[in-house]
Amino acid sequence: MGVRGSGHSIGMQKVIIWRLIFFFVLCAVMTFALLPTSGTPGFTGQDKLIHLIVFSVLFFLGAKAYPGLISWKWLYLYLGLFSYGVLMELLQGQTSYRSMEAWDLVADSLGLIVGHSALKLFSKYQNF
C-alpha cells in the first residue's frame, strides 16, 4: 500500500486506542460511582465539581473516540453521555449507601458543555 493507505491505518489505530480509553474510563467511572463513599466531602459542592470535571473529560474522550461527529451529530454524544449520567443516578438510588440527585445531572450537563467548549478551543489552536 502507498502512503495514503498507511496513513489511514495509523489514523484508524489512533481511533481504536481512543475508543478503548473512552470505554475503559466509562467503566471505571461507573464502578467508582457505585462504590460506598469514604465519608464527608472536603468542601461543599465537591461532588458536583467532580461530576462536572468527569463529564467534561468523558465528552472530550468521546469526541476523540468518534472523530466523525460534526455539527448536529454532536447531539448523539450529548444524549449518550447524559443517558449514562441518568443510568448512574438510577443505579446509585438503588444502593443503600448512595443517593440519586437531580443536581448531579445538572452538573453532568454543564460538564458536557465545558468539555465541548474545551475541545473546540484546543482544536482551534492545534491539531488535536
Which residue do the cell numbers 459542592 mark?
Answer: 45
Neighbours of 55 (CB within 10 A): 27
Binned at pLDDT 50, 70 and 90, residue 17 comes out as very high
Q: Compute the average pLDDT of residues 14-23.
A: 96
State how far the Cα of 34 lies from the Cα of 84, in Å rounded to an integer: 13
State how far the Cα of 89 lies from the Cα of 30, in Å rounded to an integer: 10
Which residue do the cell numbers 457505585 mark?
Answer: 34
44 or 65, greater pLDDT:
65
Give the range of the structural domain holding residue 114, as residue numbers without chain letter.
Answer: 3-125
State how far the Cα of 12 lies from the Cα of 71, in Å rounded to an integer: 22
Tally of structural domains, the chain: 1
95 closest CA partner among 48, 51, 36: 36
**What is the pTM assigned to this prediction?**
0.86
Neighbours of 89 (CB within 10 A): 19
User: Which range has the worst mean pLDDT, 13-17, 23-27, 49-53, 68-72?
Assistant: 68-72
Neighbours of 81 (CB within 10 A): 21
- Report the mean per-residue pLDDT for the chain: 88
